[in-house]
Amino acid sequence: MTRDEFRTLALSFAGTTQAPHFDRTAFKAKRIFATLAADGRSANLLLTPEEQEFFSAVNPAGFRRLANKWGDQGWTCATLADVDAGLMRDVLAKAWHLASPSKPVRPRRK
């Protein structure tokens, strides 16, 4: 998966916005659910610790726990070159769900 494919996929989820976040690009619904590295090689994803363990076992080359306190909370690093688009779509959907508002996102009135 490329950086552009990841960006397009992340922005395809309802209510998602993109903004700078330190040296990364953040994708957020109500909260940040993913960040993309400046070099486009990796992304950090909001998962539960159980989901983190599952996806790291399914694709150990593609997913690994962040080696810090954020990793303890489920934040997971994905190496984009080692993850296909179908699996990334599933993982991003889980991340988006964790960060999205509890009420459905409705379009703003003009």
Kindly give the confidence (pLDDT) of every residue in the chain, 110 residues in length, as a single tens digit, with 9 standing for 90 and above: 999 999 999 999 999 999 999 999 999 999 999 999 999 999 999 999 999 999 999 999 999 999 999 999 999 999 999 999 999 999 999 999 999 977 655 555 65
Looking at residue 102, what is its pLDDT? Answer: 72
Write down the number of H helices and E strands in the chain: 4, 6
* 33, part of any domain: yes
Looking at residue 3, what is its pLDDT? Answer: 97
What's the total number of domains in the chain?
Answer: 1
The whole-angstrom separation of Cα 27 and Cα 29 is 7
The three-class DSSP label of residue 102 is coil
What is the extent of the structural domain holding 52? 3-77
* 86, part of any domain: no
CATH of the domain at 38: 3.90.1150.30
* 93, part of any domain: no
Looking at residue 101, what is its pLDDT? Answer: 74
Residue indicated by tokens 């993109």: 18
* 97, part of any domain: no
